[in-house]
Structure 1
């Protein structure tokens, strides 16, 4: 569900994207379409800015630039190649150290075994004098000490390697975690939202009552045009923190588009979801966001919100699209309001 858009909205994006695509020096292939689809949808703010920069003063995109934009801004997030290389090199170093230490311990064990074998032969022979036996016993004791030292070294190396493996595991975990977080707002990103939604619809959780709240900042383009992208980013962060604060620990707050946010409410009744959406709307409407350190009074920021509840047996797309329809009903009703759209009875 990378593009959870309704048929009508996706058709509108197609209508807007095609003229932009045909002006470029790039063939009309899926990669080019994905780039321009995300541009006209406005959901991918970094891509929007990068495209505006690359096409300034009438510049056109070629195949190489289009592919680079796709890799950087559209392709699904994966472990950074530098992180992957560092983890790979770290694991190789750990394994090499373990192999080397094990080999050293093996050599010590072989020498100790040879000493035991020699001592056993001499005992069975019975012809060695007591003095010779004492000499061999001292050699055996020396071998025992070497063996003990080798095993201690092995244990130290294993402890150190275990700590390094734990550190590498933490790096991988951190990288994966960062791949699920929206860098600008600190909320979960669209990928994390889709994963959590899939879990809600899987197994026994699908039989529970889940609600979804979609919200969109009203006239956000006007905010950017009037005050600049830096202030627009500040607005996004402020709204995101309000959503996160109201969501609490048990609910997922995510940024799923440019100025669009989602609030996934597990095991929540529809009236409770509506009340939470109304609380969020009134909180944002009552707030005032200053432009940096300026005391300048700015036009207030408002949200349009749509609320719905998961119906038994429906798909993630159906669930999301109904919340999206509720959101657009709020926009058509004059914005800064909450619309609830219940699922149709089976």
Structure 2
């Protein structure tokens, strides 16, 4: 058992207080996920998390529950168990035993038939009556085996059905954890899966989209209205996506479109179309019937260059996005 020193306790208290101060600064509620991420940032030992935190704050981006949940999933959470392999192995076991019973079923029937014939022959041969109880006992035991085998097959059939249902349920859960619950768009986990399929086969194009002056909307109208604005913007972005164009909620109020460059050749104005549709939205608070100010987005577009990583591609799109903001917002800029 590891002995905890007083220095460890003092450090834990110090990190805990810094974590609480961070939550207060970010104006997010105390929750296991929020506190856990803040605590790790306070410790300063998770380099990947610190890099993401510094990159986020250097651009004065809002830190909210969504952002912290993404960091927790990406930098702190251990890899999820391989559910697909688990179910696959379970199916193999059930199918294997079932197949074995099917193949043995005929031999058991044949054995019972031979045993019954043997008993008749013994009776006809007038062999001593003292032997018949033994043979009858064997016959009863064999019939019991046959009955038990039938019961087991029925149980296995039910297990096979339950395994199939479990597989369907796990597939549903797997799809759910790849999507952002507020917007229905892919989250970073869903993006990672898509990249694994296409990244080495085709050059990509990325559109980085950010809601303009979102912090002021949150401050003035509250997080609930802020979530509604995010969902409405995501709806416009979703309408521009398809099988080959993936829409991702990349941050609190930041989105990505990722597509093969060939797809962008077919829809070259996709970023401009989204910008225009968002600017034309008319939003009204149902509670107060108050009209919300016009919502706009800025966007940056970047084509993947030869031997360029996806992270560098997103960084260039992000640079173009902030060039659009610095130029007055509500516009699209293209990376060089």
Q: Aligning the two structures, in what range does the TM-score lie when normalised by the shorter sequence?
A: 0.5 to 0.7
Q: Give 3-state SS (helix, strand or coil) of 1:262's partner.
A: strand
Q: Compared with structure 1, are the counterparts of its residues 114 and 282 closer, same or farther at alpha carbon in structure 2 (3 Å cutoff)?
A: closer
Determine if contact 1:211/1:310 at 8 Å carries over to the other structure: yes
RMSD: 4.9
- Residue deviations 1:45-90, cap 9 Å, x none? 216789xxxxxxxxxxxxxxxxxx975895348659xxx9xx99xx
Pair 1:29 & 2:45 matched: yes
Aligned counterparts, 1:231-246, within 5 A: 231-246=225-240
TM-score by length of 2: 0.67
Shift of 1:198: 3.7
Show the counterpart of 2:12.
Answer: none
Determine if contact 1:34/1:74 at 8 Å carries over to the other structure: no
Show the counterpart of 1:14.
Answer: none
Determine if contact 1:115/1:139 at 8 Å carries over to the other structure: no
Shift of 1:314: 2.0
Match of 1:192 among 190, 193, 199: 190
Higher mean alpha-carbon deviation, 230-239 vs 151-160, is at: 151-160
Determine if contact 1:180/1:191 at 8 Å carries over to the other structure: yes
Show the counterpart of 2:162.
Answer: 164
Show the counterpart of 2:76.
Answer: 75
C-alpha distance in 1, partners of 2:125/2:265? 98
Pair 1:45 & 2:64 matched: yes
Q: Give 3-state SS (helix, strand or coil) of 2:256's partner.
A: strand
Shift of 1:166: 1.4
Show the counterpart of 2:13.
Answer: none
Determine if contact 1:119/1:136 at 8 Å carries over to the other structure: no
- Residue deviations 1:192-240, cap 9 Å, x none? 21332343222xx23xx53211100000001101111110000011111
Q: Compared with structure 1, are the counterparts of its residues 178 and 336 closer, same or farther at alpha carbon in structure 2 (3 Å cutoff)?
A: same
Determine if contact 1:79/1:179 at 8 Å carries over to the other structure: no
Determine if contact 1:284/1:301 at 8 Å carries over to the other structure: yes
Q: Which has the higher contact order (CA 8 A, sep 6+)?
A: 1
Higher mean alpha-carbon deviation, 252-261 vs 266-275, is at: 266-275
Higher mean alpha-carbon deviation, 178-187 vs 145-154, is at: 145-154
Determine if contact 1:303/1:335 at 8 Å carries over to the other structure: yes
Pair 1:327 & 2:313 matched: no
Matched residue count: 290
TM-score by length of 1: 0.65
Which sections of structure 1, spanning at least 5 residues, go unmatched? 1-16, 51-68
Shift of 1:183: 2.1
Determine if contact 2:245/2:263 at 8 Å carries over to the other structure: no
Shift of 1:37: 4.3
